[in-house]
Structures are given as C-alpha cells and as structure tokens.
Amino acid sequence: MVMNNNNKTRVRFAPSPTGFLHIGSVRTALFNYLFAKHNDGKFLLRIEDTDTDRSSEKMIDNILQSLKWLGLDYDENYVKQSDNIEKHKKAANDLLEKGKAYRCFCTKEELQKDKLKVESENGYYKYSGKCRKLTNKQIKEKLSQGKKFAIRFKTPPGITKFKDKVFKNISVNNSEIDDFIIVRSDGSSTYNLAVVVDDSDMEITHVIRGEDHLSNTPKQILLYLALNRTVPKFAHVPLITDSEKSRLSKRTGAVSVEEYRKMGFTPEGLINGLVHLGWGTSHNKTIFTMKELVNKFELNRVNKKRAVFDVEKIKWINGKHISTMSTQKLFPLVVENWKNNSLITKEKIKTDEKRLLAIIELLKSRMRLIPDFSIYGKYFFEDPKKYEKDAIRKHWTKEKVKILLAKLIEEFDNIDDFNLQTSEEVVRRIASENKVKAGVLIHALRLAVTGFSISPSIFDVLILIGKNKVIKRIKSSLEFGEKNGIFI
Ligand code: GLU
C-alpha cells in the first residue's frame, strides 16, 4: 500500500486544458488552495491532458497564467497526466492479471443494440457483463483473431460507503455500478483509472472537486481498493449556477477568468467573490484578504446547496478591495486602462506620475472595477463632452446659478495660488454674498467641471484639474446653458 510518507495534507487541482479556465473551476482550485494552506499542506496542479483532440498547449498556458494572476501558486512542478500513460496501463494490466478486470470484446454496435433494447423496455442500461464469462480459450481465440478489446473493471458485489466532507454519508450498492471501462479499445485509459493512479502516485490526501464528480467516487474507491492503494478523503463542492438555476455557461455571461480580468476585476476581489460560492463563515463578514481566508477556511463550512453566481455582488466586493488596495499597487492597473482608453499617453505616465497617483487615491474608494477609473475619472483628462441630464435640471435651472458661475470665473482667475483652501474660500464666499447655500454653487460647479452629479470632494477635483482648465470648463458650461436656454 502506498503511504503518504509524512501525513501532510496534499491536495490537487486537476483541470483539463480543453478551454479557457472556467470561473467555476477556479472556485474549486481556490477551495483546494485554502484547505492546503490552512493545514500547512501542499497545493498541487495536474493538467489532465489525455484527451489529445480537445487539449491544447494554448489552454495549458491559459490555466498557468490565470492561476498566476489569481495568486493561486501551486507547489512542486505541475504534473501532466499524459506523462503517466504507461503507469495507467500498468495498473490496468495488474488488475487484469489479478483477475480484477477483464477484456471486453463487445463492439460498439453490439453495445448500442443492447442499450436500445434495455431502454425500449424502460430499463436502466448497464453493461451485461457478457465478456466476464469468456473462458481462457475463448479469449485466446479472439486475441489470435486480432479482435480489439477494452478492459473493464470487475465490479465486486457489496456496498461502497464513504463520508464526503460536504455531502456527508454516501452509500452505493455496487449492483448499481456496471463493469465500467478502464482502458478503451484504442488503448487509452479512462478518467476514473487515470485519476486514481495519479492521485495515488501524487500522494493526494484529500480530493476536493466539483459535485459533478460525486457519482465517479464510488468507482474510484473500488479501484483504489482493487489496486491496494490508500483511499483519500473526498469533498465535493456544490455546483455554481446562474440566477435561473442552470449551470453557469457562456449563454448567461462571462465564464473564463480571462474575461473577468479584462472586465477589470482584481485578483483579490474575484477570489473574495468566489469564496462565498458555497463557503459560509460563522459571522457576517464578507470582505476577506487571502491571508484571512487561509486562516479561516474549513471544509465543514462548505454548504452542499448549489451556489448562485451574482456578478453584481462580486463587483461590489471587488470595489471594497480596490478601496483598500495601496495606490501604488493600483497604479499600473489603472494607468494601463487610462492608456487603453486614450486618456493618457505613455509619456504622461512618467512625467505626470504624481498627479496620476493623486487621482487614483482620490477615486479609489468609489470604483468597483478598474475601468471605472476611466468612466468616472475621465474628466481629469478631458473636458466633459456632455452633462448628466437630470443633474442639469436639478442644479443649473436654479435662480442665480448663471451669475454665481460667472462670478466664480472672475474670482478664480484672480487667485494666484489656486489650492484647496483658496478655491474653497472663494466658492463659499460667493455663495454667502449671494445668499445661497454653498451646496447650490458646489453642485453647479461640479456639473460644469466633471459633467457628473457625483464626484469626490470638488475642491480636490479642482486642484487636480488645474485653474485654467477649470475656468475654461465653467465658461463652456455657461455657453452650453445659454445655447440651450437652461439658465433662468
Ligand atoms: N479533469 C477533471 C475535471 O476537470 C478532474 C476531475 C477531478 O478533480 O477528479 O473535471
């Protein structure tokens, strides 16, 4: 029996590189990662690339890049399942030799015919076990005729029980499991055999994977026992669904990590959003750092109820992470986005660094995704092209607004040192001299300078835009108001 030599927790994430890394798979990877780190164990990666028609190097790359971006660093070198093909074959041959598996010469057509017959009688199809009964002589004969065969596992009678860490006590009567194929007639091993051999060779102590594999587990336990290998512990994590309770799919939104990265999620925000899909804490805390998650994560808090993916909630969580991230750390992400939206040039990133950092610092408590810095911060780089309609009605159609703004142009122009104090002092003085609340002028000014009804503190905004541009924008807003008959 193969024993884990130091009893340390070893888990693995085993994606098939047949598509871009799916957000649901990341949740599985995350639970594995957190469980390993919480228990001071190892988080391993195995790329299940034996389906050569559907696997590709490009997708392996995508998996590696995505895990790296998320900060889910794996331990040791990653394992490629295709490197273990000989080991899978050897295990199948051992089972054959020990009489725990047998050759099945049934053709596809024969099996299909049996299946249709059973189904037409409303039965549940299961391989009949026909080839189990072949004599040595019959087998030899078929082999000498060059007949192709698959290898089937000889499912023993009895009951297979295991305690899943999430789904609790599972018990399956082996009579419900047919003699399943472990090696196909083309010589390739099936998933159940390959996964058992690899998990055992990698000394995996806990298999944490999606609920969709729950029905494979009894078969795998039977294989572990037949191969005389240690059975690991199992935890099946609930499926993630969309709001209509169907499996997350491209049809209803983004599914790959790549898409979420492009949408402007941060790794910290996405991880924190995904952890709530199936995992519950004992208190009402939502925002966690990776360190806190590692500290707190336990499998017994994983719920078997299917988890509904709510992208708005994850955006909100992402925003919380953006607001606490250091401005230095946000800087490369945000300037990249500004550059892509043609708000700044590459040169400006260097020459204007101080100002750009100040803008990020000012905006970060209100942004949910990185592109929000471009959407809601574009006025730092270009004059507003339009003004919020509702805000026009609310803030510019008040008595005196036109006079107040005109006065502001004059007074701002007279300030030599345009800073937080001097600009605020002027705004408040003009309001008071004209017997209006300061808010009236501040709202009108904000709309003129940013085009929006909401922004960070207007005085911080004014300073970062600069006196001349501020004056120019107030003038433009007056012209706009005049042209459209807005002011009274
Ligand atoms: N390659 C399988 C999958 O992506 C792995 C299943 C497992 O973890 O055993 O579903």
d(CA 138, CA 144): 10
CB 290, CB 341: distance < 8 Å? no
pTM of the model: 0.92
Helix or strand holding residue 210 (H, E): strand 206-210
Q: How far is the CA of 16 from the centre of ligand 1 (A)?
A: 7
Instruction: State which ligand 1 atom lies nearest to the alpha carbon of 12.
Output: 8
Q: Chunked in runs of 10, what are the mean pLDDT values of the chain (488 residues)? A: 66 96 96 98 97 94 97 98 97 98 97 93 90 97 97 98 98 96 96 98 98 97 98 97 86 88 97 95 88 96 94 97 98 97 95 97 98 98 97 92 97 97 98 96 98 97 98 98 91
For residue 25, report the distance from its CA to the centre of ligand 1, in Å: 9
Cα of 388 vs centre of ligand 1, distance in Å, is: 50
What is residue 331's predicted lDDT score, i.e. its pLDDT?
Answer: 98
Name the closest-CA residue to atom 10, ligand 1.
15
Residues with CB under 6 A from ligand 1: 14-16, 48, 195, 209, 213
Indicate which atom in ligand 1 lies nearest the CA of residue 48.
Answer: 1
250 included as an active-site residue: yes
Atom of ligand 1 nearest to the CA of 199: 9
**By alpha-carbon position, which residue is closest to atom 4 of ligand 1?**
15
pLDDT at residue number 1: 41
pLDDT of residue 253: 79
Please identify which of the residues 113, 148, 250, 437 carries the catalytic annotation: 250
- Render 159-183 in DSSP notation, one character per residue: EEEEEETTTEEEEEEGGGS---EEE
253 secondary structure, DSSP code: S
Per-residue pLDDT at 5: 52
Max distance between CA atoms of the chain, in angstroms, equals 111
Distance 13 CA to ligand 1 centre (A): 8
